[in-house]
Amino acid sequence: MTRSMVREDIAAIRRREARQTRWNRPPRGVRITPAVDAPLPGEWVEPPTPREGVMLYVHGGGYVVGSPRTHRVLTGGLAQTVRMRLFALDYRLAPEHPFPAALDDTVAALQWLAAQGARPLWL
């Protein structure tokens, strides 16, 4: 299998995942907005009555597929359950951005949130 074939397969997997999750909606009352205030791409997921604090969410997908958009049901439910704002990081994906790009993005997001006064919540 050539490198171009692998990239085409990954692109097809990403398209399929996006199609399969496009109708997924977060729980009623959860608001999702682009994180225009963040130095990294992502989105804010906010329950109706958030308590103090912020949670960082790094989606699954093996650092190759997925996005905050494909995980909105999960992030919306999580934000609603813990009643906290959640920053869903849209980290760079491999193979276009090889290791340690996604890790670097995650560390940068943690540092940015800490600089804003957020304390870590580890789950």
CATH of the domain at 86: 3.40.50.1820
Residue-wise pLDDT tens digits, 49-87: 999 989 999 999 989 999 999 999 999 999 999 999 999
Answer whether residue 19 is part of any domain: yes
Note the pLDDT of residue 6: 59
> Which token pair is 6?
């692998």
Note the pLDDT of residue 49: 94
Answer whether residue 63 is part of any domain: yes
Residues 6 or more apart whose CB falls under 8 angstroms from that of 90 comprise 40, 41, 42, 43, 67, 68
Residue-wise pLDDT tens digits, 13-28: 889 888 887 777 888 9
Query: Could you tell me the residue range of the domain that residue 105 belongs to?
Result: 3-115
**Mean pLDDT value of segment 92-108:** 96
Q: Distance between alpha carbon 117 and the CA centroid of its chain, in Å?
A: 20
Number of domain units in the chain? 1
